[in-house]
Amino acid sequence: MTFDSCGHCPSCLDHHISYCQEFFLRNFLGARTDGSSALSAGGERIHGNFFGQSSFATHAICHELNVLKVPDTAPLELLGPLACGIQAGAGAVMNALKVSVGKSFRIRLGSGRLLRPEPPRSSARQPSSRRT
């Protein structure tokens, strides 16, 4: 599952759903866009709907736009971390840094900056994609 988007604004229609005009409303207010909640306990409304689904459970209620179809053979224990890593990490690398296929980079953690992409330390020791 991923964050919620409207599916009809210019950003969504251009396949840039993270820039949805309703992103904040759909993902950070703890309710559906009409103010209702999908969850309750003892007749009391439970705030949820973070990222349009609040999926820290074995079952989740979400909008169809939040769901991605994966093969039945996909390892379920990896799908949650993979989704988070793709959205937060790989998305930034591919979209903002424009790192292309076959290129290398490293992330350096240090004071003053959270992440700083750098070229690999040695261009002489590039990993080989050839299998023997």
Evaluate whether residue 127 is within a structural domain.
no
pLDDT mean across residues, the chain: 74
Evaluate whether residue 37 is within a structural domain.
yes
Same domain for 92 and 110, yes or no, is: yes
Q: What is the pLDDT of residues 75-101, one digit of tens each?
A: 878 777 666 666 666 667 777 777 777
Report the residue count for the chain: 132
Evaluate whether residue 132 is within a structural domain.
no
Residue 22 CB-half CA count within 13 A? 14
Q: What is the pTM of this model?
A: 0.50
Tell me the residue range of the domain where 63 lies: 1-68
Evaluate whether residue 111 is within a structural domain.
yes
The total domain count for the chain is 2
pLDDT score of 130: 46
Same domain for 78 and 114, yes or no, is: yes
Same domain for 64 and 88, yes or no, is: no
Quickly count: other Cβ atoms within 10 Å of residue 36's Cβ. 9
Same domain for 25 and 79, yes or no, is: no
The SS3 call for residue 108 is strand
Evaluate whether residue 17 is within a structural domain.
yes
Residue with tokens 């004071």: 111
Evaluate whether residue 9 is within a structural domain.
yes
